[in-house]
Amino acid sequence: MTTTKAGNSARHGAGLFDIRNIIGLLMALYGLILLVMSFTTSTADKAKADGVNLNLWTGIGLIVIGAALIAWAVTRPIVVDERELEADKAAAERQGKPAAH
């Protein structure tokens, strides 16, 4: 998580807590499991799917989608401006609403 000072505001990225990273890692993990399991797919299972190894193709698809989500999170990170966050919390408290955390 990097922190930069721009004028009066401290800004930092969401880092590993970005939902795109979490979902991307889970999809890639499930894809890797399916990819490994595709090597043990029986011919009977392949016959049920018209001769296609669905574990293989689904695993590859999940790995590609997971990698795309992680690449998206790396290339376009969410930036949190601490000064604006504190101003929003103060405004919510002045209005009598509980501040969101």
Domain positions in the chain are 19-76
> Would you state the pLDDT for residue 44?
93
Q: What is the pLDDT of residues 4-44, one digit of tens each?
A: 554 545 666 667 788 999 999 999 999 999 999 999 999 99
Question: What is the pTM for the complete model shown?
Answer: 0.69
Q: Which residues on adjacent β-strands are paired with residue 11? A: 4, 81
- Within 13 Å of residue 54, how many CA atoms lie on the same side as its CB? 7
Buried b (16+ CB within 10 A) or exposed e, 29-55: eebeebbeebeebeeeebeeeeeeeeb
Q: CA angle at residue 78 from 65 to 69, to 5 degrees?
A: 5
Q: What is the pLDDT of residues 47-95, one digit of tens each?
A: 999 999 999 999 999 999 999 999 999 999 887 778 887 888 888 888 8
Q: What is the C-alpha to C-alpha distance for residues 95 and 21, in angstroms, rounded to an integer? A: 35
97 pLDDT tier (thresholds 50, 70, 90): low
Q: How high does pLDDT run on average in the chain? A: 84
Average pLDDT estimate for 93-100: 72
